[in-house]
Amino acid sequence: MTRPVRPVRVPADGVAVWTQLARPRPWLPAVLLVGAAASLGGGLLADSPTQVWGSAALAVAAVAVGGVRVTVDARGLTRSGLLGVPRYRVPLGRIAAADVVEVAPLAFGGWGLRLSRRGEVGVILRAGPGLRVDRIAGRPLVITVDDAATGAGLLRALLAQR
């Protein structure tokens, strides 16, 4: 379901930037970190390098699902992990439209970087509002983020200035 979006007013000589830190519910990274700590303890007690490396992988996964930063500016939309990587940009010249949609994780098959049955690429960290970017070529991108209406409104304003 699409929600109404108003373009953000940007003066012709002005610069506008919107950024949000999209985070999952706190339990997801917490469960991964507890699992990593338990696995690390077991690996150290059992003197198992394989288990220690597995613990490190779980810890990295906890950071990876800890959130993403979403930025909209004159360059377009940029999504990056908490540590700045991985970084993905959709240039403004490749964006056809921006909307706010209501996201249900099950429609994308769960949480994380997902592909919906409708062909949308999703960065799904929780249920709720999401910023949807339709690309001129390629699959639509949906990111669950607070205040998605402002991000979509700024993208619409920037698209109108082209």
Q: What is the pLDDT of residues 108-127, one digit of tens each?
A: 998 888 888 888 999 888 89
Q: What is the pLDDT of residues 59-90, one digit of tens each?
A: 666 666 567 899 999 999 999 877 777 788 99
Question: C-alpha angle 108/111/93, rounded to 5°?
Answer: 65
Q: Quick one: 12 and 48 in the same domain?
A: no
Q: Does residue 145 lie within any of the structural domains?
A: yes
Q: Does residue 103 lie within any of the structural domains?
A: yes
Q: Quick one: 46 and 124 in the same domain?
A: no
Quote the pTM value.
0.75
- Number of domains within the chain: 2
Q: Quick one: 55 and 109 in the same domain?
A: no
Is the separation of the CB atoms in 60 and 83 below 8 Å?
no
Tell me the three state secondary structure of residue 68. strand
Q: Going by C-beta distance under 8 Å and a sequence separation of 6 or more, which residues neighbour residue 86?
A: 80
Phi, psi at residue 161, to the nearest 5°? -80, -15
Comparing C-alpha atoms, which of 75, 79, 73, 74 is closest to residue 22?
Answer: 79
